[in-house]
Amino acid sequence: MSESSKLHESPKYFFPEEITYSDKVVALSDIDELSKSVKFMITLLSKRDDISNELKELFDGFKKDDDVEDVVVKRIENYNLGDDLQEIFHLIQVWGGMAGRGIYIFNGGFNWSKIREPYEELINCCLDVKDIELESLNRIIYAIDKFCKSVSNMNIAFITKHTRFWLRKTLKDNALPIYDRIMAVWVMRKSEPQIKDLAEYWKVMISKAESLSIGLVPLERHIFKYAYELTNKK
């Protein structure tokens, strides 16, 4: 076994042993209702004049957070170059929860004309990636960093939510995982996610996924759900 394939065994990282890991992308919640965080985002966006009535009606039909995810996945599966991206952007922000509100309320609020081109560049990079080799990781990190510097009030935690969704179009359940605060604290033992740690995080997650013979998306979901529920346990 190579050193890189043993990376996850380093005491620098933490993978909960209590989890029964599987290749299934488990539901975000076992409760059939929307989280307060997603409800907040739906309320915030529903008040906006630049949100289409069609999208607002779609919001009304969501019963749980996983419903939002399912719609995003289907829309990206059916995406063709040149299709409108704005509604997909909003849906991912809604799914990500209230921590993504900044782009709508700070610095003059949401302005798609300033976001569209950098976002197109980001997703085109994702759609060009066909593997999870180091060169591909570096390409995505460069694209994330460029987007972060081009668009205000978008951090690595939310940008990697977008890239995870778009990478699933080509990489399926081996899409490079989200790097938010929960994954930074639990897996990486860091206080917050930073782009300088992203390559290391992805490499250790790849190492762990390969050791379990499961995809990166199921692995990240198992850890996130376990950690989120423990963190928010009353």
Task: Take residue 172 and report the two structure tokens written for it.
Answer: 């399926």
Task: Take residue 167 and report the two structure tokens written for it.
Answer: 């990478």
> What pLDDT shows up at residue 43?
97
pLDDT-above-90 percentage for the chain: 92
> What pLDDT shows up at residue 3?
54
Phi-psi region of 82 (alpha: psi -120 to 50; beta: other; left: phi over 0): left
Mean pLDDT value across residues 89-115: 96
Domain ranges of the chain: 4-231
pLDDT-above-70 percentage for the chain: 98
DSSP string, 37-59: HHHHHHHHHHT-TTS-HHHHHHH
> What pLDDT shows up at residue 62?
98
> What pLDDT shows up at residue 59?
97
What is the rounded CA–CA span in Å between residue 221 and residue 101?
22
> What pLDDT shows up at residue 107?
86
> What pLDDT shows up at residue 4?
63
pLDDT single digits (tens) 17-31:
999 999 999 999 888
Q: How confident is the model at residue 58 (pLDDT cuts 50, 70, 90)?
A: very high
- Residue 131 CB partners (closer than 8 Å, separation 6+): 171
Q: How confident is the model at residue 234 (pLDDT cuts 50, 70, 90)?
A: very low
Task: Take residue 162 and report the two structure tokens written for it.
Answer: 């977008």
> What pLDDT shows up at residue 1?
41
